[in-house]
Structure 1
Amino acid sequence: MSNGIVLVYLAAPYTHESERVRQARFLAVTEQAARGWEQGYGVYSPLTLTHEAAVRFGLPKDWAFWAAMCRATLERHHELWVLCLPGWRESVGVQAEIAIARALGLPVRYIEPESAMRCATCPYAIECYDPIARPCGWIGCPYSEGGQAK
């Protein structure tokens, strides 16, 4: 521990073809980081820290670009928390972070979101990949241009 504070690395899926889904994932993981800070944990959320810079300055949004930095940061933490948003099992980055944490002997805690991941533009939840459920990130959202997700 660092001065009695447990340092937590908070992982969540990010990469997606839809900008709206990436934004919704950013908002959801940042909300979870805030909960951890309220509870007295030293939470480091790479998505919270890097999302805005990646968007504004055109940085890559995939694991290959961020892998070395994430590993170096994870090595300095006491625990890995995984926010289990839709797509976390398929996420190359999240699975790599889990593997790194296990290799380092860090505890891995899986966190179910307390609320649905919301679209950053409209009031609808992004809960699944089911076209029948019509989550706005995938199927003709009336809030997106031309009914197509951005």
Structure 2
Amino acid sequence: MIYLASPYSHDNEDIRKMRYYDACHATAALMEQGKFVFSPIVNSHPLVRFGLPGGWDYWQHFDVTMISKCDELVVLKLDGWKKSRGINNELKIAKFLGKPITKLFL
């Protein structure tokens, strides 16, 4: 299973929405190739509407667990991915666990 890391947090709500749609697009494209994908953004963005926080501080323990269950981590290279606190932490975790890491452009 692939863990799809992508940037999300931003002060501008429109940018967060676009990042969510881009994560959905990438998830669908990978699934069309027959791959099993977990995207924390696709999973958690809709839950923010129900009062859950959207940042790394809240989701990190979920993400650590999911990265450990996945076979590889794929980084979706959207604008801002290098500065993303979440992605930087996800990369550290994947490296620590010895998971293969690849990068994906839309």
| CA deviations over 1:11-70 (Å, ceiling 9, x no partner) | 10000001100000000011000011000111001100110111x112211101100000
1:17 matched to 2:11: yes
Equivalent pairs counted in the alignment come to: 106
Aligned runs of 1:1-150 on 2, under 5 Å?
A: 7-54=1-48, 56-113=49-106
CA RMSD of aligned residues (A): 0.6
Higher-Rg member (1/2)? 1
TM-score normalised to the size of structure 2? Answer: 0.97
Q: Give distance in 1, aligned partners of 2:18 and 2:51.
A: 18
Q: Give distance in 2, aligned partners of 1:12 and 1:58.
A: 21
| Letter matched to residue 46 of structure 1 | P
| Letter matched to residue 13 of structure 1 | P
| CA deviations over 1:62-114 (Å, ceiling 9, x no partner) | 1011000000011000000000101100000000001100111011001112x
Give the match's secondary structure for 1:110.
strand
Moved over 4 A (4+): none
| Letter matched to residue 55 of structure 2 | D
Indicate the percent of aligned positions where both proteins have the same amino acid.
37
Structure with the larger RCO, 1 or 2 (CA within 8 Å, 6+ apart): 2
Listed as ranges, the gaps of 5+ residues in structure 1 are 1-6, 114-150
